[in-house]
Structure 1
Amino acid sequence: MLMALGVILLISIVVVGGDRGVVSLIALCGNLFVISLAIWLMASGMPVLFTTIGAGFLISCITLFYQNGSNVKTWSAFIAVLLTMSILFFAVYFVIWKSEAGGLNEIQAVGEDVFYYNMNLDINMQKVAVSVIILSTLGTVLDMALTVTTSIYEVKMHRADLKMKEVMESGIQIGREVIGTTVNTLLFAYLGESLLLFAYLKIQDYSIEIILNSKILFQNCVSMIFGAISCVIVIPIAAWLMAKFV
């Protein structure tokens, strides 16, 4: 079934996207390879955070430069993503370290399947939690940054008389228009993945205090929240850089 769905996806991308669809498909395969390599390196003993930074850098290059070419739009987006993810990295590290949110959550720790696996892993699970949030957030930040820089480029091409401040304000306004749909996408992606979890919590009749203070809720929500925060932060950064470059 997975192979059949993969073939359907491949055909759809090629038919609808044409040459650009093929490039996007190759970029997707490249990103999957980078993620797989990062997982292998972490499991082999490489520093988790160092590997995460390297994987994020490669994914950004593949997504922006290979898929969209090397131009002022992609370079502006790339720099904006680097600045945003640098800020986010320290924030995520601080939150995860203070909350001790790494490792198995309450349901995973008592599940029957846990007895079939060796839990003696020589990996810092808090650093793995940071890596998961950073890499899961990177996609939305790349998308938002490129949306803003591309929109500003089109505005400037059609209104060459606009000053830098006006161009930047146009980019921020465009970001405001799409931030709502981006946050909704992150929210419903989380809710869709957690429907069974919510049903389980309702059946077990856990109190609201236990749920709000549980590790499982924190782990599921923190990626969504940091994703939304990073999308908001990258808008003015990308708008300022693109306005300055054009």
Structure 2
Amino acid sequence: MILFLTLVLLFLMITIGGERGAVSIMALAGNIIILFFSVILMSAGFPALLLILAAGAGVCYNSLFYQNGNNVKTRAAFLATLFVMLILFIPIFAITWRTGSYGLNELQISEEDFMYYYNTDISINMLHVAVFVSVFSTLGAVIDTALSVTSSVYEVWTHKNSLVEKELTSTGYQVGKEIIGTTVNTLLFAYLGGSILLFSYVQTQKYSLEIILNSRFLFQDVAIMLFGAIACLVAVPVSIKCIIWQIRYINPDKKQLNA
């Protein structure tokens, strides 16, 4: 059934998306390969924190430049995404470490089949793995937000290059306001929608509200959703600054942005 659904997805992407759909498939395959080797390297003991930087940059490069070409918009979005990931890396690491939300949660530990059939002594720093998961869970949404903002600001400037920096900044924030609501809702339903079965199980077990609110399994899902929303919000002003910098100094048409 997984193979069937995959074939349906590929068929629709090529049929509806045409050449761009085929390019998207190749980019998706490249990202899967990057994540596959990241898991192998992490299992072999390669520092997960270095993998976050290397694999994150690889996914950003593949998603932006391979699909959309090397231009002002993609370069600005690439820089903005990397900046956002670097800005949020320390808070994500600190919060994950401070809350102790890494590793198996209470429900996974309580499963007899899991503890009986699987060896939990895997010699991997679970804190680093949790940070890796949190960062990569936000990456796709940040890339989309950054590219949307940079593309919109750049297109506005190409049609009216007399605009000053303040006006372009205002345009960028207006675009950010339009897309951030749907982005946050997408993240909310993506993470909480996948946890409906978990919440149904918790409800049938009659856990108290105090236990649920202080549980690791709740924090792991909610924290990833909140990290993603915060990252997208931070991506808006960072993307605006990056695209304005690109327009002012690196634009191939050599047009200067008015002060």
Fold agreement, TM-score > 0.5: yes
Deviation at 1:41, TM superposition (A): 0.4
Are residues 1:163 and 2:164 paired?
yes
Q: Secondary structure at the match of 1:49?
A: helix
- Provide the C-alpha distance between the structure 1 equivalents of 2:53 and 2:219, rounded to a whole number of angstroms: 23
After TM superposition, the score normalised by the length of structure 2 is 0.93
Structure 1 residues 116-155: aligned runs within 5 Å = 116-155=117-156
Residue pair 1:171, 1:239 contacting (<8 A) in 2 also = yes
Moved more, 221-230 or 107-116: 107-116
- Provide the C-alpha distance between the structure 1 equivalents of 2:10 and 2:77, rounded to a whole number of angstroms: 27
Match of 1:227 in 2: 228
Superposed CA deviations along residues 24-71 of structure 1, whole A, max 9, x for unmatched, are 110000000000000000011111111121110100000011111111
- For 2:205, give the aligned amino acid: Q
Q: Secondary structure at the match of 1:229?
A: helix
Structure 1 residues 163-242: aligned runs within 5 Å = 163-242=164-243
Q: Secondary structure at the match of 1:166?
A: helix
Moved more, 204-213 or 45-54: 45-54
Match of 1:84 in 2: 84
Deviation at 1:119, TM superposition (A): 0.8
Deviation at 1:243, TM superposition (A): 2.1
Moved more, 29-38 or 41-50: 41-50
How many residue pairs were aligned?
246
Greater than 3 Å deviation, 4+ residue runs? none
Q: Secondary structure at the match of 2:70?
A: coil
Residue pair 1:164, 1:244 contacting (<8 A) in 2 also = no
- Provide the C-alpha distance between the structure 1 equivalents of 2:34 and 2:203, rounded to a whole number of angstroms: 39
Match of 2:36 in 1: 36
Unaligned 5+ runs, structure 2: 248-259
Are residues 1:66 and 2:79 paired?
no
Unaligned 5+ runs, structure 1: none
Moved more, 155-164 or 117-126: 155-164
Moved more, 96-105 or 235-244: 235-244
- Provide the C-alpha distance between the structure 1 equivalents of 2:16 and 2:113, rounded to a whole number of angstroms: 42
- Provide the C-alpha distance between the structure 1 equivalents of 2:54 and 2:111, rounded to a whole number of angstroms: 34
Residue pair 2:73, 2:154 contacting (<8 A) in 1 also = yes
- Provide the C-alpha distance between the structure 2 equivalents of 1:43 and 1:245, rounded to a whole number of angstroms: 39
- Provide the C-alpha distance between the structure 1 equivalents of 2:149 and 2:27, rounded to a whole number of angstroms: 21
Deviation at 1:164, TM superposition (A): 1.3
Are residues 1:2 and 2:2 paired?
yes
After TM superposition, the score normalised by the length of structure 1 is 0.98
- Provide the C-alpha distance between the structure 1 equivalents of 2:145 and 2:102, rounded to a whole number of angstroms: 28
Are residues 1:243 and 2:244 paired?
yes
- Provide the C-alpha distance between the structure 2 equivalents of 1:47 and 1:126, rounded to a whole number of angstroms: 11
- For 1:25, give the aligned amino acid: I
Match of 1:48 in 2: 48
- Provide the C-alpha distance between the structure 2 equivalents of 1:244 and 1:170, rounded to a whole number of angstroms: 15
Deviation at 1:223, TM superposition (A): 0.6
- Provide the C-alpha distance between the structure 2 equivalents of 1:64 and 1:47, rounded to a whole number of angstroms: 26
Q: Secondary structure at the match of 1:120?
A: coil
Residue pair 1:152, 1:239 contacting (<8 A) in 2 also = yes
- For 2:188, give the aligned amino acid: L
Are residues 1:96 and 2:96 paired?
yes
Q: Secondary structure at the match of 1:122?
A: coil
Q: Secondary structure at the match of 1:46?
A: coil
